[in-house]
Amino acid sequence: MLIVLLDANAIIGFHELGAWGQIIKQHEVYIPSIVLRNEAFFYRTVDGRRHPIDLLLSVGKSITELECTPDEIEDFALRYSHSFLPEIHKGEQEALEKRKGFLFCTCDGAALKVLGFMGLSERAISFETILKKTGLTKSLAHKHTQVFFEEHVKIGQRLRIEHFGK
């Protein structure tokens, strides 16, 4: 069992692949409040139809909501304003601030670069790896692959070295 903190794009991706039920059954799932309440509302099936996602019904049952205070979000913004902050959403900021004790999963390149820049890639997990650890194999879009994950984390790590020299 994994203890994961999921970003909106990972939640939507798991729904699109029909894997959400297995993910919440096999793993301990945490979702940032901003993602839960403001970002992950629907997914599209291959035929283009929209399907609602109602995560609030599962809070306290199969998922746990994590919330930052406004001060914590502002603190995070001040610490990383020089890097990628304009590129990452508030839900990702909240997840990155609350990352301790969880494996953070996002399919957003900017958020993965921030993880690399922060030196926290060991606290992250790729979408593909979660699927594999759930016993599922699916054909994946590039943004859901381990390769995408590693590419973007490495960019952040390289920028950290260029910025701080270590």
The CATH-assigned architecture of domain 3-164 is: 3-Layer(aba) Sandwich (3.40)
| pLDDT at 79 (0 to 100) | 66
Distance CA 111, CA 126 (A): 12
Per-residue pLDDT of the chain (166 residues), as tens digits, is 999 999 999 999 999 999 999 999 999 999 988 889 888 899 998 899 999 999 998 998 999 998 877 777 777 666 655 555 456 566 665 566 555 678 999 999 988 988 888 888 888 999 999 999 999 999 999 999 999 999 999 999 998 888 766 5
Distance set, CA 140 to CA 50, 106, 148 (Å): 19, 14, 11
In the chain, where the domains are located: 3-164
| pLDDT at 89 (0 to 100) | 60
